[in-house]
Amino acid sequence: MAIHQTLRRRFSVKDFARMVEIGIFTEDDRVELIDGEVIVMSPIGPRHTSLVKRLNALLSRQLASRMIISVQDPVQLTDDTEPLPDLAVLRCRDDFYAHTHPQSEDVLLIVEVADSSLAYGREEKVPRYARSGIPEVWVIDVEQETVTQYTHPDEQRYRNGVPFF
């Protein structure tokens, strides 16, 4: 019996941007690039969107003059990984990132709001944020109404991951 290996084509961030540019994906498609693979994201429910809007309003009031609040926009972590966090707090730039998506060194905080995607957020995205040196990540569990704060990243994970309410 012959064993067939499934071949996968991995994409770079540049490839992915080109796919959007030519219309394979649109800006409204719920997809992100993780380790070269296009990942279809879970649909967003009303509780999820409400929480993102509330956090955006709160963070904007507190930080708007000193930082940029980015809502469900790409953040490039590596040449083949560009997730779409629910919120990202970014260093201020005069051009507001007009010519390139923010890179990991531009990010001060990532917030992931999770209902059906909790395991994906914790197991897939959070470790990638740690490896990229994102200093702080919050994962909000919509169902359990909890927030876990991850700090002190190293090459593989966050050394601290504690619920703070």
pLDDT digits over 136-145, tens only? Answer: 999 999 999 9
Q: Is 107:92 a contact under the CB 8 Å cutoff?
A: no
In 3D space, the residue among 127, 77, 74, 129 whose CA is nearest the CA of residue 103 turns out to be 77
Q: Which two tokens stand for residue 121?
A: 């957020």
Q: Is 138:110 a contact under the CB 8 Å cutoff?
A: yes
For residues 105-131, average pLDDT: 93
Q: Where are the alpha helices (DSSP H) in the chain?
A: 13-21, 46-63, 118-120, 126-131
* C-alpha–C-alpha distance, residues 45 and 116, integer Å: 9
Q: Is 51:140 a contact under the CB 8 Å cutoff?
A: yes
Domain boundaries, the chain: 42-163
Tell whether the model's pLDDT for residue 131 goes beyond 70: yes
Tell whether the model's pLDDT for residue 162 goes beyond 80: no
Q: Is 118:146 a contact under the CB 8 Å cutoff?
A: no
* C-alpha–C-alpha distance, residues 108 and 110, integer Å: 7
* C-alpha–C-alpha distance, residues 49 and 86, integer Å: 9
Q: Which two tokens stand for residue 29?
A: 């498609």
Q: What is the CB neighbour count within 10 angstroms for residue 105? A: 9
For residues 147-163, average pLDDT: 87
For residues 12-29, average pLDDT: 92
pLDDT, position 102: 97
Tell me the CATH number for domain 42-163: 3.90.1570.20
* Percent of all residues in the chain with a pLDDT value above 70, rounded to a whole number: 97
pLDDT tens, position by position, 73-94: 999 999 999 999 999 999 999 9
Q: Which two tokens stand for residue 96?
A: 């507001």
As a whole number, the mean pLDDT across the chain is 91
Tell whether the model's pLDDT for residue 6 goes beyond 80: no
pLDDT, position 82: 97
* C-alpha–C-alpha distance, residues 56 and 16, integer Å: 27
pLDDT, position 8: 79
The pTM assigned to this predicted structure is 0.90
pLDDT, position 50: 95
